[in-house]
Structures are given as structure tokens and as C-alpha cells.
Homo-oligomer: A and B are copies of this chain.
Amino acid sequence: MTSDDAGAKSSLQRGVAILRLLADSNESGARLTDIARDLGLTPPTVHRILKTLVEEGMVESDKTTKRYRLGIDLFTMAARAGNPNNLRDICRPIMLRLSATLRDTIFLLVRSGFDAVCLDRSEGPFPIRSFTGDIGGRVTLGVGQGSLAILAFLPDEEREEVIRFNLPRMQGVGVLDEVYLRTEIARVRDLGYASRSTGLLPGMSGVAVPVLDREGHAVAALSVGTITERLNEERLPVVVDILKREAAGVRRQLNPFDPVLRRPAAVLGSGAA
């Protein structure tokens, strides 16, 4: 469990390790001693690093309970991450439009290592459950429609690497075996979208299309999560069509050739008030 990965040396690495630990325990925060134990560090070391992190605003300490948790400054900072190529900004209005017209919840997923991460979501009126969960949530790449759509459109070698790494992680989440997975992937590549009515989450279903870069490789996925009845034979092709059109639009906007794209909107001062 406690990764205990050999040799966290520099104070920076230790600081990050502490932040990681805090991220995993932020219900009510973590205590100094526990952090020290979990990371195999001495209390004074942890204390000093925490002090620095608190001074920097990355960590907050509740002085009464002596518990540490991630600070709001970190929250603010990190909220600005996960916007590669302005992907999130570009997709925001599209997602709003989609959730409004389709009346379902829209997800924006990107790849992060062997996971897919939910970059953004736009709620529809139907309460749904999803693998990726909230914004910032992660899911094994290949599990779930959006995640699968990305995997299917990765460059060949990368896809193979991910498959090899992820197959063991997919136990019990609907991926029966390698053959099944590869069949699914082939189908997604063929159709240009991922959809499974046999949702792993009861009553839930979804459909996703990849957002491609110039080389035709997935950089993200736009995904609709809804209740199964709402993805019937009549509705599905329409939804797919709309999604594909929007994904194509995003692809166009992602093209960094156009120099005008550098400043997309510039609404209000972006801080530094």
C-alpha cells in the first residue's frame, strides 16, 4: 500500500510526496506523525517541509486539530493546470451547448499516463454515475466509453503499451480478456465512436468520440453519459453525429498553426488583481 518507493531524496521530491499524501487523505487532513510514518521520514523533516509548504500557501494547517491539508492556493493553482492547448477553454462552450441540447451530462477526458482524467463535465438534468466521477477523477485507460475512445485512437505503439500495462488493472470492470478488449478497440476505430449499452454501471450508458490531433491521434474524448433508455437505436446515431461534428470543430481549433488562436477571449482580468 504505502508505496515506499526507494529513495525520495531532494526536499522537493519530499515536498511533492507530502502533497500527494495530503491529497489522498483530505477528509479531515493528515497529522504530522502519520505523514512521517507513511513516507518513512522523521518528524522534524516533515515538520520543516510542511512549514515551508504552509508558508508558500500550498498547505493549510488547522491549528486546533493539528491537521494538515492541501491549501486553497494549491487549489487555485492546480485548477489552471489541465488545460493543454487551451483544450478545456475551447471545449467549455461546446460542452455547455451539448448538455443543453442533448439534456445529458457531457464529459471531457484526456489521457494521463495509463489513465484517463476527467478534465471537465457539464451536468445534464439526469443524475448519472460515471467511472471518472467528478472533475479531476481518474479511470484506467480503456474502461468506459470516453476512456476507450482515447485508447482506440492512440498511436499504435502507445496503444500497445497501454494495453499491456492496463490489462491486469481491468479485472472485474467489464473487460473480460485481451481478445474482447482488442475487438472493442477495433470496433471503435472502425465506427469512430465508442458506445456500450451494456453499461457496467446499472442503467447507465454512454457514447464517446475521440478528439484527434493533426496526425489523427486522440488527444481527448468528448463523452455523453446518460441512462440507458436515452441511447436507443433512434437516438444514438443522432447523438454520435452531433458529437462527431463538435469533435471535428475542436480539432480545427486545436490547430496551433493559426497565430490568432493565441488569445482566445481574454474575459476580464485573469487575476493579478
Q: Which A residues contact B (CB, under 8 angstroms)?
A: 10-13, 15-16, 19-20, 23-24, 26-28, 49, 52-53, 56-58, 60, 69-86, 92-93, 96, 99-100, 110, 112-113, 115, 117, 119, 122-123, 125, 127, 129, 131, 133-140, 143, 169, 256, 262, 267-268, 271-273
- In angstroms, Cα B80 to Cα A27, docked, is 9
Q: Residue on B with the closest CB to A115?
A: B273
SS class, residues of chain A in contact with chain B: mixed
Q: How many angstroms between the C-alpha atoms of A11 and B20 in the bound complex?
A: 18
> Can you offer 19 A-B residue contacts whose CB atoms are under 8 A?
A10-B11, A12-B12, A12-B15, A12-B49, A15-B16, A23-B78, A24-B272, A28-B262, A71-B81, A72-B82, A72-B84, A72-B110, A72-B117, A74-B77, A75-B78, A78-B79, A78-B81, A93-B127, A96-B127
Number of copies of chain A assembled together: 2
CA distance A79 to B121 in the complex (A): 13
User: In the bound complex, how far is the Cα of B29 from the Cα of A86, in angstroms?
Assistant: 10
Asked if B12 and A268 sit within 8 Å, CB to CB, the answer is no
Chain B residues within 8 Å of A78, by CB: 23, 70, 74-75, 77-79, 81, 136
> How far, in angstroms, from A273 to B133 measured CA to CA in the complex?
12
CB neighbours of A136 from chain B (8 A)? 75-80
Most central of A28, A78, A138 by chain B CB within 10 Å: A78
